[in-house]
Amino acid sequence: MPLENDAVAARVHRYLELVETGTADEVAALFASEATIEDPVGSEVRAGRHDIREFYATFESMTKTTRLISLRACAGQAAFQFEISTEVAEATFATMSPMEVMVFDDDGLIESMRAWWAPDDLTIGPAGD
Amino acid sequence: MPLENDAVAARVHRYLELVETGTADEVAALFASEATIEDPVGSEVRAGRHDIREFYATFESMTKTTRLISLRACAGQAAFQFEISTEVAEATFATMSPMEVMVFDDDGLIESMRAWWAPDDLTIGPAGD
């Protein structure tokens, strides 16, 4: 049975929470062992928890906030837009709001994550801008 | 070469315009001949322009409006959220705002469209609500 829509939404919230405050290990643990990520779409696909952990480790020590903007769930999948602000200098944040699609397995682990965004979508400024 | 991001965005705008005001033939003409649609994700995939035309013909005679909420483009693809309001009784509209992913071929035709939404996302009320 695919995950219920409420459970899909809860897992996306948990993912964003851990991207903001968790370790790369904690984020990677949300993914199935053979999971794939393509971020942004068109770039090389990373496969397996080791490579996925490595991807999140890049941002692990950065100060950042995340915020869910909108989410639609069906058939054990989520399509959502979220905002992520990363501190790039003191009190200066790089902010973007990608669209993502996540496919969950029946155990609630992320099987695949794909993110659509372009460098042009990035804005630089004080937090909240 | 994949379509430039601006061209992807222009095609999504054109699609929403034709969903609002065009005929099923006009909408179907935006798709490649072997294109697929999965709307909502998890339902049966429709393949080929004939079946796609049939899908849009269902809504063709309804009074409706569309509005793009947000769009991200990369690698010849668009992920976007839009609102569609359909008149279901006099001055009463059914409104929803699905998330969609469209993949375009190098000629700018839609190769695939997938839409994430659930029946719970539907709201009924006067236009603009």
Q: Kindly give the confidence (pLDDT) of every residue in chain A, 129 residues in length, as a single tens digit, with 9 standing for 90 and above.
A: 899 999 999 999 999 999 999 999 999 999 999 999 999 999 999 999 999 999 999 988 899 999 999 999 999 999 999 999 999 888 899 999 999 999 999 999 999 999 999 999 999 998 765
Q: What is the ipTM of this complex?
A: 0.94
Q: Which is catalytic among the residues B39, B106, B107, B121? A: B39
Q: Which CATH number covers residue B107?
A: 3.10.450.50
**B126 part of a folded domain:** no
State the number of CA atoms in the 13 A half-sphere of A109 facing the CB: 14
Interchain pair A70, B70: CB under 8 A: yes
Chain B positions touching chain A (beta carbons under 8 Å): 2, 5, 40-42, 69-70, 72-81, 97-101, 116-118, 120-121
In a domain, B125, yes or no: no
Residue B27 falls inside a structural domain: yes
Q: Can you give the pTM of this predicted structure?
A: 0.95
Handedness of CA A62, A58, A120, A12 (dihedral sign): negative
- Is residue B127 a part of any domain in this protein? no
Interchain proximity B42–A76, CB inside 8 Å: yes
- Please indicate, yes or no, if residue A127 is contained in any of the structural domains: no
Which residues sit opposite A82 in a β-bridge? A68
Number of domains in chain B: 1
Residue owning tokens 């984020």? A27
Q: Domain of residue B79: give its range.
A: 6-118
Residue B91 placed within a domain: yes
